[in-house]
Structure 1
Amino acid sequence: MEDNDIATRAPESDAQEKPQEPPAGQSVFPGDTIAQQGPSMGEHCTTDRPTPSGEKPTGDLTKLGGIECYVTKPTDYPHSPSKLLLMLTGGTGVKSTNNQLQADKYAAEGYLVVMPDQFDNDPAPNSVDMTEISQEVSWLESVKLRTAEGIKSFMIDMWLARHTPEKVLPLLHKVIESAKEEYADAVANGGGIYGIGYCFGAKYILMLAAELPDTVAWGQATPKDEEQGTVEKKPVLRAGAVAHPTMTTMEDLEAVKAPVYIAAVKDDPMFSEDDVLTPGRRVMETNKVEHEIQVFSGVPHGFAVLGDYEDSKIKHSQAQAFGQMLGWIQSH
């Protein structure tokens, strides 16, 4: 692990309506600040790398709780016991060949993998078609539409405004409840559900590994009248592992209660070390939450998502991150 820095290891213990642009200093997620979140999404969150040559997905697209999911199973299931793994992707979504192949890799290690369409058939825009820019957004042209990059950034901001916790979490809960029934044997064998998340999906794995007020756990706001009281909803996941989270705040890490592993990227503007990672690590230590954070240097945000790179260092780090994430959930 000479290329990487182990930061810490704690001891065992909507509608398609035009969204309003967030006010200055505020993110598309209520309560998050720009300083906390950094840039919204990176190129590697919204665009797949070349698919490894000769590999084809082996799972199937099906529906759980009315939500489309990619489900992939060990070759000997159900004759041999398996464990249930929820995998959440970056912006490229459930129909990405690379994401499906990544799920297959976990299935090959003995996990029954459920990868839901957390975007409800609306994956992140990864290219800009000028015909998609309507007159309805002309009021922002002077600010957001000066360059092609500005247009793409604006479209991603609009996309993020459609996929907030209030939309994503209820969808995930539908899938989870259905999977508990459909694959009760795998849930029982693993003593619960495990979670893997990349980029956008990492935030939601952390939320599912957290103890949250019941309203927040389902994507709703905390009651303004604190005297009403809130019931704390226990973590959905037995353990989770995530890589290069986006849209994640220190408060997300503060709420975590289940064991988590985080593969971070050094100097990642989408997962700030000063504003999120370091204070989040300290609060998990204070809360005695079992965790491990590994910081990878010399790699881009999104490096851990399956896809081909020419740079041998990135390839090595990608394989290492997969091994670390797999090892974490195997050990819990």
Structure 2
Amino acid sequence: MSGASRSAAVKRLMKELSDLQADPSPEFTAAPLEDNLFEWHFTIRGPPEAGFEGGRYHGRLIFPPDYPFKPPNISFLTPNGRFEVGKKICLSITGHHPEYWRPAWGVRLALVALISFLPTKGDGAIGALDYTVEERRVLAGRSRGWRCGVCGVCCGDKGSDESGEGQGRAGQNMGPGAADAATGDAKPSQATAESTPDANIPIPPSPSAVPPPASSSSSSSTTAPPSQPPAPHAVTISPTPLPHLDPTPTPTPTPVPQPAPPQHLTEILRTIDRALALVFLLLAYFVIRRVSKLVEGEAKGGAGRFWAE
């Protein structure tokens, strides 16, 4: 794997290992193999229901070269009555459904989701089983004496019950091969791809909440996407009421009455009107008289005589 010292996958896996060692969980242990950083083995504590109480179940995580941008493949090595042994299980946090995977998820979230998924029904999903509660209790008792032939972990050891010791021992068991992988001198096993992406891609932070995993049927994928963060609440901002203003009403202007014309002026105007009317009548009389005389003179044949007069 060229440029592994700058690989985002190597840096992310080393960071997650460091976080698990610094803050171990009482429900599981997980650590890479001594010679392969891309294959981790885990041991989870059975939930107190559905026949898993007291069980210790061992399995492995196979990480792709472009992790965390693609999910790991998960398989169980311990018979448990819920998942087939050695078969990649189908969950929304596994390689069967990369479309649901989020780079912010990691090993811790995947194992917590795996524990919460154990008591659920298989419903014919890939790698799922539906043993009875009694059968699972028998397998839970037998799981305490099961030992892994690859990493040598025994599920009945004290370290598998006390996750802090088991996690610390797993971290210390990282041999030169894993250290070389972190510095870029080793290659991942055949379970992973031959190359990893460059480390220039930023590593997303670990999530604070565990979304419920979803299963899918062998005939059709019915996996529901993980729950999304709740939408932010709308904030209603009430407007600040303006102080009530009492404007002074504008006074309405009072119309000024126009003075009536004097009485004597009215009489003068009436007299002038009468005089003008009389003048027009006199002019009309004289014009009519002149015209009538003219007509009479022409009738007598003497228009010149008329004008001589």
Indicate the TM-score class for this superposition, using the shorter chain for normalisation: under 0.3
Output the TM-score relative to the length of structure 2. Answer: 0.25
User: Which has a greater percent of strand?
Assistant: 1
Q: TM-score, normalised by structure 1?
A: 0.23
Larger Rg: 2
